[in-house]
Structure 1
Amino acid sequence: MRTRLLRRLTTLGTIVAVAAAGLPASAASAGSGNGHRGDGPLKVGYYTQWSNYSGFFVKNVDTSGQARRLTHINYAFGNVGPDGKCFINNEPGQGDAWADFQRGYPEAESVDGKADAWDQPLAGNFNQLRKLKAKHPDLKVLISLGGWTWSNYFSDAVLTPESRRAFVSSCIDLYIKGNLPALDGRGGPGSAAGVFDGIDLDWEWPGSAGEPGNVIRPEDKQNFTAVVEEFRRQLDRYGKEKRRHYLLSAFLPANPAAIDAGFEVRKIFKDLDYGTLQGYDYHGTWEPLTNQHSALRVPRGNPTTPDFSVTSTVDAYLQRGAPRQKVVVGVPYYSQGWTGVTGTANNGLFQPATGAAAGSNTYRAVSALVGTGGYRVHRDIWAGHAWIFDGSTFWTYDDPAVIVQKALWVRSRGLGGAMIWSLDGDTEDGVLTRSLAGGLGR
């Protein structure tokens, strides 16, 4: 008993020390064979199309120190139309070409401190990503297709061999070859060439329910495998012309039922450079009880049985044939929050609540509450999760200590790395990304 306690205390000390310093901890190296040309685990961060509207620009990925610590950025999201092809437009709820490639950036918001010219073909986030890559030559950028709200027509797009070929060709033409639509003086053939180094498939979910209205078919599972093969085939064909390798990844669910309904795991990983696993939203404000949303292990006393955790998610994929060096674990830079919590047992954990907590749920915003209004940090070291509670409002989140604990666990399991949703949730000085990189190793 005494030995186990000492180990726990030593582990916590290591976590806190590494989190504070952002320095590598000694552990076995991981990540070989997963599409990263450098050494060590992958560090994949999502940059969202809409984050610039809240003042988080591509420039902030650089000034925060995130860019020099990341290996890959996924740009979220690209849409798939009812015709089964990739497209970009300016239509509310369907596309935001203005944010993607039309908006002119002033000096103060530009990665290189240079304002966009009125007549340059490429502006917007795409041009800022191009500038970011110029400043950080080893950084790779992928376009992520779909997401929760834009997965409506994937099932149609992948239904037949002909539709799959057309779908994949349209996405490569638009994003990899950079043949953007010409809109108000921006875009045009080849205007975005070189911005994207690959494609990330974020279909939520083949064969099982996602957003209401999504097209779902029983054959989605086999058709997802087929479209992954088609992407690999066409990316390799174009890559041969360009004498380079284009990356292919996919975002994959935590729920074993969704895994088995939509994914032939062993087959798809043969063609993916890596897969990013859902490591969050295990519980949330759609439920009446407070709970963890991203724990490393299922907490003892959890009233939900069986439950999700990072460990159970990773094990589910390994058991189904995913190569561990291609498994990239998702970590959240946001929180799940409940208010109207009526019980104080377990410091607010597993207690009834009346609804969602008000305010921003980014780590940056929630961490600022610590020490104010009665909020205190609580953590379950063994389970690997943290939360704050003021007696009536409860937030569950990953703080630097939890992030480092997960990073060290990823390395100990020989996994491919970690993925972040999403970069705008970090602090101005990038404390979470610094902690993640320190735990994974540079």
Structure 2
Amino acid sequence: MKTCFKIACLLAALAGICHAAETTPASAVVAAKPAVAAGKRVVAYYISWGAYGRNYYPSDIDASKITHLNYAFANIANGRITVGDPNVDTRGKNNFGALRRLKRQNPALQTLISVGGWSWSKSFSDVALTEQSRKVFADSAVEFIREHSFDGVDIDWEFPVSGGLETNVYRPEDKQNFTLLFAALRSALDEAGKKDGRPYLLTAALGNSEKFMGNTEMGKAIQYMDFANVMAYDLNGTWSKSSGHLAPLYHDPASMLPGASDKNNVASLVDLMLKAGVPADKLVLGVPFYGVSWKKCAAEKQGEYQQCDGKGRGSWEDGTLDYTEIEDKLVNKKGFTRYWNNIAKAPFLYNPDGGEFVSYEDSESLGYKLKLIKEKNLGGAMFWEITGDRNQTLLKQLAKDLLPVAK
């Protein structure tokens, strides 16, 4: 996905856009042609369920601080991409309609439909299996983005060969079929782009482990993608009985548990991707706009790397906290104290009353990751997800550091 844009390119894009009325049907909206990239990408994920209890809508998004918006998620039915939640995607709050309005107001913004995700990756192995099934899926992608006026498709297959939900379909040949699926998508999108007089984007969300890299051919598959977003978070989580850091930048020897890998950190993950053949400028580093929490963690080392007893508090579900709640209500408040691990370059909170340990991203740790992005000449930053930072604390930092002109 393209990045930020030079002023001249932006003006040209603005001049070429028809600002349709609010009642313009989706099929009639003309998307902006991506301008020439001048900076890094800032890729936001918006969750469809944000329109429920979170009361966060596409109209709440500050498009001046991002270059690409991935809408999560579309589902797969009968081998074709389908609307994930019609109640908010195309009816009721009508998020797709709101996205079209957002694009008319911000013509340089690129929007993509993200397909699959943790809950809806069951069918990927089947759609990638044969030349015919790949063509049906790719053709449905073209139909979907044309109908709903997206600028491209983001594939979030969790995961090829193994991993993800136990109910997912897996095959050993997923490794090769992953590449073939992207080849089919690229072909269909390019053909559609020639007919429509504009390019369409193809991206992917990449897993955060050596296992994912071993189960894919990223050096081959990346040639079909405009860029790829590596999910460089959830490196530790509440599925483990021991507390750890959500997205440590570097390996901390003190974190080692039996069976653990010293590669379970962001810097090692980036190096793994680059060595696999992913070009640096196509690799977008994912960062979390949330935190994870454990309860009843032993007090030694302020709860860090200690045995715990399950999930701690959460914003919408136990064990997961929006960054805004952490920032506003927990940092050095309510019995919590902020600590800093200078080896992992990671902050954490600990409350001895209840033994609550919280791992999260903040401005200090994000600063080190932004430095890595520049040192490695990566393609930018992606974050999951935009409803978690209502104060725009982290978003403003990303925009200021990565975009040539940020408000």
TM-score of the alignment, normalized to the shorter chain, above 0.5? yes
* Contact 2:236/2:244, CA 8 A, preserved across alignment: yes
Name the counterpart of 2:393.
Answer: 431
Name the counterpart of 1:19.
Answer: none
The one-letter code of the counterpart of 1:380 is N
Q: Cα distance, 1:36 vs. partner?
A: 6.8
**Structural mapping, 1:24-423, within 5 Å:** 37-53=36-52, 54-62=54-62, 67-81=63-77, 83-88=78-83, 95-104=84-93, 124-174=94-144, 176-178=145-147, 192=148, 195-261=149-215, 263-304=216-257, 305-307=260-262, 308-345=264-301, 347-360=302-315, 361-367=321-327, 368-391=329-352, 392-423=355-386
Q: Cα distance, 1:84 vs. partner?
A: 1.3
SS at match of 2:285: strand
Count of matched residue pairs: 359
**Greater shift in the superposed pair: 125-134 or 431-440:** 431-440
Q: 2:402 matched to 1:440?
A: yes
Q: Cα distance, 1:98 vs. partner?
A: 1.5
**Greater shift in the superposed pair: 297-306 or 138-147:** 297-306
- Mind listing any 5+ residue stretches in structure 1 that lack a counterpart? 1-34, 89-94, 105-123, 179-191
Could you say if the C-alpha distance between residues 36 and 414 of structure 1 is closer, same or farther in structure 2, counting changes exceeding 3 Å?
A: farther
SS at match of 2:255: coil
SS at match of 2:254: coil
The one-letter code of the counterpart of 1:197 is D
The one-letter code of the counterpart of 2:383 is I
Distance in 2, Cα, partners of 1:437 & 1:407: 11
Distance in 1, Cα, partners of 2:294 & 2:35: 39
Q: In angstroms, what is the RMSD of aligned CA positions? A: 1.3
The one-letter code of the counterpart of 1:212 is E
Q: Cα distance, 1:242 vs. partner?
A: 1.3
* Contact 2:251/2:343, CA 8 A, preserved across alignment: no
Moved over 4 A (4+): none
Q: Cα distance, 1:269 vs. partner?
A: 1.0
Q: Cα distance, 1:222 vs. partner?
A: 0.7
Distance in 1, Cα, partners of 2:343 & 2:403: 22
User: TM-score when scaled to structure 2?
Assistant: 0.86
Distance in 2, Cα, partners of 1:388 & 1:405: 19
Q: Cα distance, 1:317 vs. partner?
A: 0.8
Distance in 1, Cα, partners of 2:360 & 2:401: 18
Q: Cα distance, 1:204 vs. partner?
A: 0.3
SS at match of 2:277: coil
* Contact 1:74/1:142, CA 8 A, preserved across alignment: yes
Q: Cα distance, 1:439 vs. partner?
A: 2.7
User: TM-score when scaled to structure 1?
Assistant: 0.79
Percent identity of paired positions between Structure 1 and Structure 2: 35
Q: Cα distance, 1:409 vs. partner?
A: 1.5
Distance in 1, Cα, partners of 2:42 & 2:303: 33
Name the counterpart of 1:3.
Answer: none
SS at match of 1:102: coil
SS at match of 2:90: helix
Q: Cα distance, 1:438 vs. partner?
A: 2.2
The one-letter code of the counterpart of 2:363 is P
Deviations 1:384-422 (A, max 9, x none): 211111111010000122122211210111000110000
Deviations 1:316-348 (A, max 9, x none): 111111101100000001111001112232x22
SS at match of 2:334: coil
* Contact 2:72/2:113, CA 8 A, preserved across alignment: yes
* Contact 1:410/1:440, CA 8 A, preserved across alignment: no
* Contact 2:119/2:165, CA 8 A, preserved across alignment: yes
Question: Which structure is richer in relative contact order (CA contacts within 8 A, separation 6 or more)?
Answer: 1
The one-letter code of the counterpart of 1:383 is A
- Mind listing any 5+ residue stretches in structure 2 that lack a counterpart? 1-33, 316-320
Q: Cα distance, 1:293 vs. partner?
A: 1.1
Distance in 1, Cα, partners of 2:141 & 2:343: 44
SS at match of 2:101: helix
Deviations 1:286-319 (A, max 9, x none): 1111110101111241123414111111111111
